[in-house]
Every structure is written in C-alpha cells, then in structure tokens.
Amino acid sequence: MEILRPKGIYFDNAATSLMPREVLEVLIEHYSVKRSNVGRGMHDLGKEVTQKVEEVRGKIQEYFNAYDFYVIFTFNSTFASNILALSYTGPLNSLLISVEEHNSSYLPWFHKARKENAIIDFLKINEKWELDYESLDKESYDVAVITAASNVIGKVNEIKKIADFIVVDGAQLAGHRSIDLDHSNIDAFYFSSHKCLGPYGAGALLIRKEKAKLITPNYLGGGAVKSVTSDNYVLKPLPHGLEPGTPCIAEIIGLGKALEIIKENEKMIESKEKELVKEMHEVFEELNINYYGNTKDNGKLPLFSFNVEGLHYNALALYLNEHNIYVRSGHHCAHLLMDYLGIKGSVRASLHFYNTSEEIQTFKKVLKKVIK
Ligand SMILES: Cc1ncc(COP(=O)(O)O)c(C=O)c1O
C-alpha cells in the first residue's frame, strides 16, 4: 500500500487522514471514464455506477458488522448528526450528552432538546478518563449522544445501555478500527470518509433497522420519494428516503475502497498503532508532559493532546510548524470538554499507522528544545 503524503511530518490525522494511492485511482477512474449519475436512467454506465455505490453499503455493513442497520450516505459526520437529530421523531423528554462530544454531535441535539423542553444531563469523566456512568442520577434517558472516541482524549469509550436511543459518533474511531455494531447497544452511528483514508465529502449514517420507525425524513426531493401527485407524496423507506439528491458518487466508491484497505490491514494497523502509542507515551513521560487521557492504556487511539506550561498552544503549534511538524491546536470543536478540563485549548498530535518512529523522535527533539 502506498500512502500519498505531503512533505513534512503529518501529525494531524484526527482532522483528516492521508489517503492510499488505490483510493485516488478509484476517483480518477470514476471522474475520467465512468462519470454518470446513480439510481436513475437505464443506460449501462448509470447501472454500473449505481451498483458500485450500492456495493459500498454492503462494505460498510461488513466493516462494522452492521447487518441490522440501514446505511445512509451523507457528506460527513456533521451532516449525519444533523439529519439524524432533525429526522428523529421519537420521545425526547430527557437527553444525555457526554462532555467529550464534538460540537457536531452536541449542537444538533442540544438545539432539538431545547426546542422540545427536554432535560439535558451531561455524562462526565472519572479519574481513569472513563465515562462516569456511575455518577448519573437517572437510570435511563430517551436519547444519549456519546462519542466512540474523543478527538481530544483518544480513549475508546464503553457504550452502556443508558438510553432508549443511543447515538454514537464514530468519526475518530472508524479510521483506526471497527466496532461490532450488531452486538452493541448502539442505535445510530456515523463517521466521515476523510478521516478513514478516504476522499472528502462522503460519510455514512447507520440506523438500527428496528429503530427506523423513530425516523421521519424531512429533506425532500428526487431520489427520496416513491410517488408524487398534485396533493401528496410518498417517501421511499430507509436508506433512500434519507438520501435526496445526487450523492458524492466517486467519493462513496472511494470510501468503499478505503474501508476495504483498512479491513485487509486490520492486524498490521492494530500492532503499528500500539507501537506508536507506546513510543509517544514514552516521549511525553521523558519530557514530563502530561497529556489529557494519560492512563498508560494501550487501547487508546494514537492521539495526544497536551499543554506545556508557560507556552500558548497556538505558539507551540506554530513552532512545530516551523520545523515542518503539522499538529492541530485550539479547542478542537470540543467546547464542552475544554470547559470540563478548565482549559481554552491544547496542542494535538494525532498519528496514524503510516507515521514512523523516526518522525516521533524528530517531534521529541523539537519539543525538547522549546520546553527547555
Ligand atoms: C469526534 C468528531 N466528531 C465529528 C467530527 C466532525 O467531522 P466532519 O467535519 O467530517 O463532519 C469530528 C471532526 O473533527 C470529530 O473529531
């Protein structure tokens, strides 16, 4: 597998991962000789492309063991979270939100809960950086929104049966490893292609089939309706009922290829990432920097957020940038967590399996110089 890389040390994979050449080749093939639309038309090209897009639904089900789920194509996780919250018509008297949520998971549900006068509770974190289900006053909620892995802490969360409808943000987890959705407590799950070795502009929302009755699509248009008359219309069932308009066809096919590559290399990715986490952990220990979520837990994603006393996180990111090391700094769209941790922001170095020990050692050398 050849990963296409920019020059320099790319440690911003939690924002967007890099992409294998095979995925780019899928895009080139589509845009050069297969370009056509899906779901309509009788010609061969349209049929072929429709079939390829439909096959990706199957690949996503296979990747997440999600045969009990509908796979709805979206443009990214943010879009998935918004359509889900807007289309959810089940009970919402109480909402539980983990303090680790990215704004794209928090805000659509916060907005809906406010409109429906629902009680909103927050799921905190205990001293082991685990979600503190024990601290909740209520035994169950109508809806809970919980991230599979925080984009600041990188720890993989346990999803307990705490609500009748459990929504899980898979944006950070999906590009590193799968999760067995059929055997989980999860009712809805979403992720973005661009964080999973895939192209921009594609993503998916997975909804447990037995919970589909709680969803009423409200984006209307071509592709989502079965019939239209001058005084009525009938929507298609899921998944197509939630997919009006032309999807990002090439990007969906590219996402399918990317997931295939991750699946084929699952074992290698797991062991490589374990090594990276271990080495990064040692670097932080040696430099005496405590990253958020430090529990010596080897199961975490290779993602490290930290602050250095006396140095603004943006200044540190710029300093690293001068040495061609690309990290993210700021609030990471996780305002709830920033408040919870009592900080305004942090530096985040996020790696993927294709990063190397040599890069980590350069990162260490540069960081050492600046914290002296
Ligand atoms: C945990 C998490 N959820 C959701 C998102 C939103 O992803 P996208 O911008 O692809 O919609 C991100 C992006 O950084 C994220 O880290």
According to DSSP, residue 157 is labeled: P
Taking each helix axis from N to C end, the angle separating 77-87 and 103-115, rounded to the nearest 10 degrees, works out to 20
Under the banding of pLDDT at 50, 70 and 90, the label for residue 39 is: confident
β-pairing, 141-147 vs 3-4, is unpaired
Residue 248 annotated as catalytic: no
Please report the pLDDT score of residue 156 as a whole number: 95
What gap in Å lies between CA 178 and CA 63, rounded to an integer?
6
Q: Quick check: CB of 305 below 6 Å from ligand 1?
A: no
pLDDT, average across residues 75-96: 98
State the DSSP string of 211-276: GGGGB-----STTTEEEEETTEEEE--TTGGG--S---HHHHHHHHHHHHHHHHTHHHHHHHHHHH
What length does the chain have? 372
CA-closest residue to ligand 1 atom 16: 151
Least confident of 57-71, 151-165, 213-227, 263-277: 213-227
Answer yes or no: are the C-beta atoms of 92 and 140 closer than 8 Å.
no
Q: Considering 27, 333, 341, 371, which one is annotated as catalytic?
A: 333
Distance, CA 103 to ligand 1 centroid (Å)? 8
Distance, CA 169 to ligand 1 centroid (Å)? 8
Under the banding of pLDDT at 50, 70 and 90, the label for residue 298 is: low
Distance, CA 335 to ligand 1 centroid (Å)? 13
What gap in Å lies between CA 155 and CA 152, rounded to an integer?
9
Q: Quick check: CB of 77 below 6 Å from ligand 1?
A: yes
Strand, helix or coil for residue 3: strand
Please report the pLDDT score of residue 295 as a whole number: 79
Q: What angle do CA 177, 178, 184 make, to 5 degrees?
A: 140
Query: In terms of pLDDT, which residue wins out, 294 or 12?
Result: 12
According to DSSP, residue 125 is labeled: B
pLDDT digit string (tens) for 227-274? 999 999 999 999 999 999 999 999 999 999 999 999 999 999 999 999
What gap in Å lies between CA 370 and CA 372, rounded to an integer?
6
Q: Quick check: CB of 148 below 6 Å from ligand 1?
A: no
pLDDT, average across residues 70-74: 98
Strand, helix or coil for residue 209: helix
Closest CA to 179 of 299, 273, 268, 279: 299
Please report the pLDDT score of residue 297 as a whole number: 67
Q: How far apart are the first and last CA of the chain?
A: 39
Domains of the chain: residue spans and CATH: 3-17+266-371 (3.90.1150.10), 20-264 (3.40.640.10)
Distance, CA 303 to ligand 1 centroid (Å)? 14
User: Whole-structure pTM over 0.95, yes or no?
Assistant: yes
Q: Which atom of ligand 1 is nearest to the CA of 80?
A: 11
Q: Quick check: CB of 76 below 6 Å from ligand 1?
A: yes
What number of helices (H) and strands (E) belong to the chain? 9, 16
Answer yes or no: are the C-beta atoms of 351 and 17 closer than 8 Å.
no
Please report the pLDDT score of residue 371 as a whole number: 87
Q: Which two tokens stand for residue 280?
A: 């990064």
Look up residue 115 and give its amino acid. Answer: K
pLDDT, average across residues 165-182: 98
